[in-house]
Amino acid sequence: MKLTAATRLYGLFGAPVRHSLSPVLQNGWIQDHGLDAVYLAFDVADDGFETALGGLLSAGLAGANVTLPFKERALAAATSASAEARAAGAANTLVPGPDGLHADNTDGVGFLLDLDQRAAGWRSVADVAVVFGSGGAARGIASALSRQPGLAVRLVARNAATAGQLARDLGLPPEAVFGWDQAAAALAGAGLAVNATSIGLKGDGALTPDFSAMHPAGLVYDTVYTPRQTAFLTAAEAAGRAGLSGLGMLAGQGAVAFERWFGIRPDFATGLARLEAELA
């Protein structure tokens, strides 16, 4: 990658982000399209996000992704926001413009992009989708799913208050919210089940619902991608259900962010292949 005085700067804000695969993904696509740009990771202190963002914007930052723990603060720092960011209550993509900083959330759109790429027939069996969690990732995914015609969304969460608020925000009925111990009832007849929590990340904890009551052709999706085979996916396999890790969601949300910055939709399959090679 050749850097010039005109090279545009993009990056990822988070803490920690030194492990992130986003630079591999975005710089690969930048090279594919011959763009004079570079994408870096910025690991900033908890109390330094606004300062770091403001300083880099002043220096010409052309676009950014934001990950934990700054997604909510990224939305607050923006002067405008997409419907997706407002629904999620958080932003993972920032686009500077003449009218100020625009916030977007590509998690839900990227999740759907991945499903459509790697499980093209999922819509034919999924008239009920179950989302585990009620945090930022769950909000983005549940919001995207709730806008799909003919698809009912159920929430399974440990925190009844946040799950109830999410249901109200999305216009879901109270009976769409299930407690952690009601997972089996929530999964009955479902064509899609999504772990949108961090349980299982790097082998920390295990989420192992009984998927046997799902639709026989149902799909189980874990947004966690390290390790690739989580306890959630192992439980799905034991019940004879197909499963996908969240690596494709990383590629999907990254592809949508890239399009927001450059006006080009990069090749999903190429990006996913790079991520898989990096993890291998």
Residue 245 and residue 227 in contact, taking contact as beta carbons nearer than 8 Å: no
State the catalytic residues: 71
Cα distance between residue 254 and residue 241, in whole Å: 27
Cα distance between residue 146 and residue 172, in whole Å: 8
Cα distance between residue 104 and residue 274, in whole Å: 25
Cα distance between residue 122 and residue 182, in whole Å: 24
Tokens of 148: 């799909």
221: three-class secondary structure by DSSP: strand
Smallest Cα–Cα separation from 225: which of 153, 156, 280, 146? 280
Burial label, 152 (beta-carbon count in 10 A; 0-12, 13-18, 19+)? middle
**Angle CA 132–14–129, to nearest 5:** 15
Tokens 């085979």 sit at which residue?
A: 229
Cα distance between residue 198 and residue 90, in whole Å: 17
